[in-house]
């Protein structure tokens, strides 16, 4: 079973306390697609790149069962992000964003991508998310967002929420969007805006899953890492891993219990992303690696 993932495909310039590298593969769709490909293939990637996008990045994606028919090639320059992480990896500074080809892009889904049963509207503008949603036939639709869209496209974002099954959002943005400082209240308020399920990502503290019934609540721990090298794309990997697991197991109309298991798989997938620059670690992860880390996480959290 396949997954369609639309979002940004970028070139990242990242500096951490340990190192700095340029022209790394980045973007919400890149991380989500690679994470999903661990569990199922093909993954239909929908995005846009410029003339300057390195071919090795494309070859690597294709080698992981990611179809690039929906990846538009434009004459402009690729979307770029330049940022720096500090000693506390929870704090980062964005030095420069080059929207470039992303400014005029409108997602166009190939036929096979439209027919995927699981769809991911990764972090991108609500307008682009709506354009994707207008083309899909999926049984289960997930979406991510960020503070930028909450602030400048709030009304359009509310329209997106009415058309998806699962919203994934980080804790600070959940509080901002819901207008409350309580995460549990924020999750329920966001649910009231449309999605059947909400996941609030809490970084190194794990995530909260909110189901349709008042008693349906699940707190998932993050896998404890001894060191974090580069957390870029961890949230996108979480969403991709979760969605890939659902598709691989035929859970296109998942129950709350199905989503609990999917969340654990997404969380563990994201932990690998943090261990190296860009997608470097994610490219080597297998289902056996995921299973081993889940087994460890189970021993860490059971009582």
| pLDDT tens string 165-199 | 999 999 999 999 999 999 999 999 999 999 999 99
Q: What is the DSSP string of 94-150?
A: EEEEE-GGGTT------HHHHT-SEEEE-SS-HHHHHHHHTT---SEEEEE--HHHH
pLDDT (average), residues 213-226? 97
Whose CA is closest to 27, among 255, 50, 63, 245? 50
Question: Is residue 110 within 8 Å of 44, Cβ to Cβ?
Answer: yes
Check residue 70 and give its pLDDT.
98
Domain 3-9+28-70+106-301 bears CATH identifier 3.40.1190.20? yes
Alpha-carbon Rg of the chain, whole angstroms? 18
Whole-number average pLDDT of the chain: 97
Give the integer Cα–Cα distance in Å for 5 and 246: 14
> 66 has which bridge partners?
43
Check residue 90 and give its pLDDT.
82
Q: Which is it for strands 118-121 and 140-144: parallel, antiparallel or unpaired?
A: parallel
Domain ranges of the chain: 3-9+28-70+106-301
pLDDT (average), residues 111-116? 98
Beta carbons within 10 angstroms of residue 228's beta carbon: 17
Give the integer Cα–Cα distance in Å for 119 and 15: 32
Give the integer Cα–Cα distance in Å for 209 and 168: 9
Beta carbons within 10 angstroms of residue 156's beta carbon: 14
The answer to whether residue 4 scores a pLDDT higher than 90 is yes
| Per-residue confidence band for 269, with pLDDT thresholds at 50, 70 and 90 | very high
| Per-residue confidence band for 89, with pLDDT thresholds at 50, 70 and 90 | confident
């Amino acid at each position: 079973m396949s997954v369609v993932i639309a979002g940004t495909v970028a070139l990242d310039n990242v500096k951490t306390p340990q190192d700095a590298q340029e022209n790394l593969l980045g973007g919400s769709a890149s991380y989500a697609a690679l994470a999903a490909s661990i569990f199922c293939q093909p993954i239909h990637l929908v995005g846009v790149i410029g003339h300057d996008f390195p071919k090795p990045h494309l070859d690597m994606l294709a080698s992981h069962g990611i179809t690039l028919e929906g990846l538009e090639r434009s004459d402009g320059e690729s979307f770029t992000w330049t940022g720096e992480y500090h000693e506390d990896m929870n704090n980062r500074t964005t030095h420069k964003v080059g929207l470039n080809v992303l400014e005029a892009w409108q997602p166009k889904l190939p036929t096979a991508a439209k027919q995927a049963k699981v769809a991911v509207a990764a972090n991108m503008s609500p307008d682009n998310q709506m354009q994707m949603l207008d083309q899909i036939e999926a049984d289960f639709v997930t979406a991510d967002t960020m503070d930028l869209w909450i602030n400048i496209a709030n009304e359009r974002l509310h329209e997106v929420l009415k058309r998806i099954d699962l919203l994934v959002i980080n804790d600070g943005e959940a509080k901002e969007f819901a207008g409350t400082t309580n995460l549990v209240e924020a999750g329920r308020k966001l649910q009231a805006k449309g999605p059947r399920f909400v996941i609030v990502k809490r970084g190194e503290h794990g995530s909260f899953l909110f189901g349709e019934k008042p008693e349906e609540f699940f707190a998932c721990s993050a896998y404890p890492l001894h060191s974090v090298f580069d957390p870029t794309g961890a949230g996108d990997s979480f969403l991709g891993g979760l969605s890939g697991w659902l598709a691989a197991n035929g859970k296109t109309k998942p129950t709350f219990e199905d989503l609990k298991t999917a969340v654990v798989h997404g969380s563990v997938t994201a932990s690998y992303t943090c261990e190296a620059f860009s997608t470097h670690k994610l490219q080597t992860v297998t289902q056996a690696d995921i299973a081993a880390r889940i087994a460890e996480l189970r021993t860490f959290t059971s009582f």
